[in-house]
Structure 1
Amino acid sequence: MERHDTGHGEGLAQDLEAIAGRMIARRRALALLAGVGTSAALASCGGDESSASTASSGTTTSSSSSSSSTSTGSSSSTSSTSSSSGGTSASACVADPSETNGPYPADGTNTASGATSNVLSQSGVVRSDIRSSFIGSTATADGVQLQLVLQLVDVSDGCAPVVGAAVYVWHCDAQGRYSLYSSGVTTESYLRGVQVTDSEGKVTFTTIYPACYDGRWPHIHFEVFTGGLTAASTGRTATLISQLAMPAAVNTAIYSSDTRYTASIANYNAVSLSADNVFGDNSSAELAQMTPALSGSVSAGYTGTALIGIA
């Protein structure tokens, strides 16, 4: 997906001060929320992600219908404790493919109902625990806890760790809603956050497991900015935009036993990884790396890792 460089002010550089203790001014928070509040007319769950935001015009172009499959979601276990075979070691890596950032990135690249939101320009977005809102509200998204370690590696340099890169992660909640966009959560900013890779190329996010909404395999969005925080003022400057495919066994375990994800059951039974409009054209090696390796249980939560390869 083509990206264009456009300036958006100081951006995430302001978060360096926030880490030192400076909190976002409430007036600024309310201003942002007033802008994105007009997005409430959007569907309450996630939309079609088969096409990306149009960066040059600032609008989102999406298909009139979602891509879905009548085949059932593949799974190998229905037990509450499960693990995935996804993920690869840092000694063997492939370049992650570029994927759409979808209609709900809140990275300054798209417009919804005439309003543009960009959390990447907001103090407070640099955080490891992304379960709570950080703009105006402090509400926390409810769901099965997920702690995910992402390791960024350079495919052209023997899978060496990429140090000092900013990684922006976002995804839907347990009801399939995206904060700042979906009806009922337009004033929330949860399940969005940025971390900077350490000396091993790693970042850690504490979040909740995403739902499965109509027409898509369960997934987590991410953007990588190899220029670090100072470069990450907008999604237009991202080095890589892609997604993680959630492992089938864990999807089945959570959706079939946790009532907070009841709406996901029918949606998940109607999709498959091979027919997904984002993951369906990826190679087996790419899919293996894009699928986090998770362990844990529905009651205790899940932990795991995923490798992200930069070409």
Structure 2
Amino acid sequence: MDRKSFLKTLGMAGVAAVAAPVLMFCRKDDEDEDAVTGIINNSISTACAVTNSETEGPFPTKSPSGLVQTNIVSDRTGVPFTIAITVQNVNANCANLQGAIVDIWHCDKDGNYSEYGGTGMQSTNYASAHFLRGRQTTDANGKVNFTSIFPGWYNGRATHIHVHVYNAAGQSLLVTQIAFPEGNDSAVALVAASTGYKGLSGYTYNSNDNVFSDGTSNEMSAVTGTVSGGFALTHTIKVSV
């Protein structure tokens, strides 16, 4: 027996008029709940997503396995700077990843890289130097730490740090870059105005940077501190293992 015949048989023809809006109301509640759940799930999914992949060049470390060190300053001078990176595995609900190999490298206060130079891309020749490059393995909390100096910048790029993450077997998981907050009171601005750095005249901001111009939502670091006391960067990188 269909629903209409059933209601007629019970003498409940009037119930149909009442039941319809009630059913519609319940359905709307269910749809609203599904929509909220979808938003929540999407937010969680977005938060636990692999960090953007970026270019490794043009100055990648040539022999990173020979640069296992936490203090990467070498002979460079500049504002003291510490770097703390946490690596997480998106395939384990973004649990901290122990045993990942993390290589970092960045330019000095003048915008120059070690291991390169004497060419049109970098006139100063540092081909035989190995400053501001290092490798560490993540601990039980998925963390690595480095002691460095605050990076400068060079034409066409905002302030940044390069990172290459490998698994414990040495297989590449992700090449990415770390972006820095900008603004009048940011570390970038304060350091640029300090002794020895070259200021922000001609600086390329994140929004115009050819790497970061598509957004820095999962590449943006947090930087705290002062010029006199030094700055500390913290950042989380998510990989797929």
**Normalising by the residue count of structure 1, what TM-score does the alignment of the two structures yield?**
0.57
Query: 1:55-86, CA deviations, whole angstroms, 9 ceiling, x for partnerless residues?
Result: xxxxxxxxxxxxxxxxxxxxxxxxxxxxxxxx
Does residue 105 in structure 1 map to residue 47 in structure 2?
no
Bigger-Rg structure (1/2)? 2
Are the equivalent residues in 1 in contact too, given 2:102–2:137 (CA < 8 A)? Answer: yes
Aligned counterpart, 1:261: 197
Q: Which amino acid aligns with 1:306?
A: H
Work out the CA distance in 2 between the residues paired with 1:276 and 1:155: 27
Work out the CA distance in 1 between the residues paired with 2:104 and 2:76: 15
In 2 relative to 1, CA 150–215 (structure 1 residues): closer, same or farther, beyond 3 Å? same
Q: Which amino acid aligns with 1:164?
A: G
Aligned counterpart, 1:150: 85
Aligned counterpart, 1:120: 64
Aligned counterpart, 2:221: 292
Q: Which amino acid aligns with 1:94?
A: A
Same amino acid, percent of matched pairs? 37
Q: Give, in angstroms, the shift of residue 246 of structure 1.
A: 1.5
Query: 1:26-65, CA deviations, whole angstroms, 9 ceiling, x for partnerless residues?
Result: xxxxxxxxxxxxxxxxxxxxxxxxxxxxxxxxxxxxxxxx
Does residue 129 in structure 1 map to residue 71 in structure 2?
yes
Q: Give, in angstroms, the shift of residue 121 of structure 1.
A: 4.2
Work out the CA distance in 1 between the residues paired with 2:54 and 2:229: 31
Query: 1:290-310, CA deviations, whole angstroms, 9 ceiling, x for partnerless residues?
Result: 122111101110113100011
**Runs of 4+ residues over 6 Å off in structure 1:** none
1:307 is paired with a residue whose SS is strand
In 2 relative to 1, CA 121–199 (structure 1 residues): closer, same or farther, beyond 3 Å? closer
Q: Give, in angstroms, the shift of residue 267 of structure 1.
A: 2.9
Are the equivalent residues in 2 in contact too, given 1:247–1:292 (CA < 8 A)? Answer: yes
Work out the CA distance in 2 between the residues paired with 1:307 and 1:168: 14
| Greater RCO (Cα-Cα under 8 Å, separation 6 or more) | 1
Q: Which amino acid aligns with 1:96?
A: T
Work out the CA distance in 2 between the residues paired with 1:101 and 1:242: 7
Work out the CA distance in 2 between the residues paired with 1:155 and 1:180: 33
Are the equivalent residues in 2 in contact too, given 1:213–1:267 (CA < 8 A)? Answer: no
User: What runs of 5+ residues in structure 1 fail to find an aligned partner?
Assistant: 1-91, 107-117, 133-139, 232-236
Does residue 220 in structure 1 map to residue 155 in structure 2?
no
User: What runs of 5+ residues in structure 2 fail to find an aligned partner?
Assistant: 1-46, 118-123
Spell out the pairing of 1:190-229 with structure 2 (5 A cutoff). Answer: 190-228=131-169
Query: 1:67-109, CA deviations, whole angstroms, 9 ceiling, x for partnerless residues?
Result: xxxxxxxxxxxxxxxxxxxxxxxxx443111100121102xxx
Spell out the pairing of 1:178-189 with structure 2 (5 A cutoff). Answer: 178-182=113-117, 183-189=124-130
1:295 is paired with a residue whose SS is strand
**Normalising by the residue count of structure 2, what TM-score does the alignment of the two structures yield?**
0.73
Does residue 304 in structure 1 map to residue 233 in structure 2?
yes
Does residue 141 in structure 1 map to residue 76 in structure 2?
yes
Aligned counterpart, 1:159: 94
